[in-house]
């Protein structure tokens, strides 16, 4: 079994966790934004933005929440996203400790 995809996923999850622990660095108003428990938590916003395809926001929300009737609105997503500093809307870099070949290490940058 190839462990490379799993290692990339684990590294991404670790990076998201570090970001959540330092959420004040990414919020427009650190004392107010991204603190309360919401239907769209910061973790969900990050995961959603990473996984979004080319579809409409409503379609992407439906797919992300598996067509659950209690899903948040596209407006809620935009409001949560706007609480993030524009230049910090993230540049998550993950570096794999497991390389697909012996000569190089894979780097995947995700920016939105």
- Give the per-residue pLDDT at 89: 54
pLDDT tens digit string along 75-98? 988 888 888 877 655 554 333 344
φ, ψ (nearest 5 deg) of residue 40: -110, 95
Q: Which two tokens stand for residue 86?
A: 């524009």
CB atoms within 10 A of CB 80: 21
Q: pLDDT tier at 103 (50, 70, 90 boundaries)?
A: very low
- Give the per-residue pLDDT at 45: 87
How many domains does the structure of the chain reveal?
Answer: 1
* Mean pLDDT on 27-47: 82
* Between residues 71 and 38, the one the model is more confident about: 71
- Give the per-residue pLDDT at 111: 44
Range of the domain at 45: 4-111
Distances (CA, A) of 39 to 36, 72, 76: 10, 7, 9
- Give the per-residue pLDDT at 88: 55
Computed over every residue of the chain, the mean pLDDT equals 76
How many residues are listed for the chain in this entry? Answer: 112
């Amino acid at each position: 079994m190839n462990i490379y995809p799993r290692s990339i996923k684990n590294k991404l999850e670790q990076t998201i966790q570090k970001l959540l622990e330092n959420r004040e660095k990414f919020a427009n108003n650190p004392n107010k934004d991204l603190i309360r428990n919401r239907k769209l938590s910061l973790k969900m916003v990050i995961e959603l933005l990473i996984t979004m395809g080319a579809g409409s926001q409503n379609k992407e929300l439906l797919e992300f929440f598996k067509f659950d009737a209690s899903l948040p609105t596209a407006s809620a997503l935009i409001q949560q996203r706007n609480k993030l500093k524009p230049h910090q809307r993230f540049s998550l870099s993950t570096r794999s400790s497991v390389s697909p070949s012996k000569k190089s290490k894979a780097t995947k940058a995700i920016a939105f």
